[in-house]
Amino acid sequence: MVGGGRGALIGPVHRIAATMDGRAELVAGVFSSDPVRSRASGADLFLDPSRVYGSYREMAKAEAAMPPELRLDFVVIVTPNHQHYGPARLFLESGFNVVCDKPVTFDLAQAIKLREIAQRMAKVFVLTHNYTGNAMVKQARELVRNRSLGAIRKVVVEYPQGWLSEAIERTGMKQASWRTDPKRSGAAGCMADLGTHAENLARYITGLRIEELCADLSTVVKGRRLDDDGNVLVRYKGGAKGVLHASQICAGDENNLNIRVYGTRASLEWHQEHPNELAVKFADQPRQIWRRGNSYVGNEAKRFTRVPFGHPEGYLEAFANVYREAFRAISAEVEGRPIPRNLDFPTIDDGVEGMAFIEAVVRSSRLGARWVRPAAH
């Protein structure tokens, strides 16, 4: 692991998710840019001190020299955005598979370059858009794919939070400080952190790609340097329309990611805070509530269900589903077998799409909410 030491938010989540099925073990890491803090975090995690490093460069060199039976199978990168590209590139070029938190890089140019490296090195690259691992999200995608909804007309996806309603980054709060810093987050704040999840979820369920968009980004909290609220109108390839809203200043909202997909025959609705339910709505019959774990759900939803119905599954299980599916590819690569084709996890291609989305919304907003097309990539 690179990053994820003391005081980190997402590092512990990755460690739980990656080890939930007993198929992976954390054996090495650099957990902070401060070597002293990195070693302290390694001790917290009961790691062999000889495999706790002071920099990712030191780690890559030492781990690449390990004998095959001790060598890492993959590396997880859970640093702030500006520290994704360097470690990801070095570990790929050192012969390691990579799992990386989103957004994939600091900007679109880095993402495109990283895709070239991953393809050249023939390594597995996993991007943890964790909401795609939820069983009822997969059920929603299946309903779209088998045309139960008919042709898609409109997509509404929202991701409101309220945790940055005040300038808590000025209190020294670690998670707030780097997410609101353009030197560490990149060109966007809220849209990089939340908007990319919303765009990815809509694309994953519907299969639709953005043809052009019109974005209005705002910095609501006075003195903040990046957007904390954004509204995007979307025109999808094929004619469907969309609305994407992401915000960190919606006081009282916790993690209210939700999506509605409207077709010519029916529509569906899913809420991340109630992840075990999927609403399917018709014009000529009562609304249906589909629940995870029941016999009537599709095969993909069943494949990613861990416990019987009535026992809730949520954030960590969905995260672990991404890892479990990724391990099918990583195991094959490590063992020299052909990598399966029917894989279901976000890849470097999704990372490039996400960075093109960020670049487009920032460009549109700076042009006064003008319609723009995402950059070709």
One domain, residues 360 and 248: yes
Rounded Cα distance, 113 and 121, in Å = 12
Domain assignment present for residue 145? The answer is: yes
Question: Which segments of the chain does DSSP mark as H helices, in order?
Answer: 10-19, 35-44, 56-64, 85-93, 108-121, 135-145, 174-179, 182-185, 190, 196-206, 299-303, 315-335, 348-366
Give the structural domain span for 11.
2-130+323-347
pLDDT-based confidence at residue 234 (cuts at 50, 70, 90): very high
One domain, residues 44 and 178: no
CATH number for the domain spanning 187: value is 3.30.360.10
Domain assignment present for residue 313? The answer is: no
Domain assignment present for residue 32? The answer is: yes
The pLDDT of residue 71 is above 90:
yes
The pLDDT of residue 42 is above 90:
yes
Which percentage of the chain shows pLDDT scores above 70? 100
One domain, residues 176 and 213: yes
pLDDT tens column, 16-41: 999 999 999 999 999 999 999 999 99
pLDDT tens column, 144-182: 999 999 999 999 999 999 999 999 999 999 999 999 999
One domain, residues 101 and 142: no
pLDDT tens column, 122-153: 999 999 999 999 999 999 999 999 999 999 99
Question: Which segments of 271-337 does DSSP mark as H helices, in order?
Answer: 299-303, 315-335
One domain, residues 304 and 336: no
Rounded Cα distance, 299 and 309, in Å = 15
Average pLDDT score, the chain? 97
The 3-state DSSP class for residue 60 equals: helix
One domain, residues 20 and 64: yes
Domain assignment present for residue 373? The answer is: no
One domain, residues 231 and 296: yes
Rounded Cα distance, 351 and 103, in Å = 6
Count up the domains in the chain and report the number. Answer: 2
Which percentage of the chain shows pLDDT scores above 90? 99
The pLDDT of residue 203 is above 90:
yes
One domain, residues 204 and 236: yes
One domain, residues 148 and 70: no
pLDDT-based confidence at residue 268 (cuts at 50, 70, 90): very high
| Average pLDDT value for residue range 275-294 | 96
CATH number for the domain spanning 68: value is 3.40.50.720
One domain, residues 27 and 159: no
pLDDT-based confidence at residue 236 (cuts at 50, 70, 90): very high
One domain, residues 150 and 285: yes
The pLDDT of residue 377 is above 90:
no
Rounded Cα distance, 158 and 99, in Å = 26
One domain, residues 185 and 288: yes
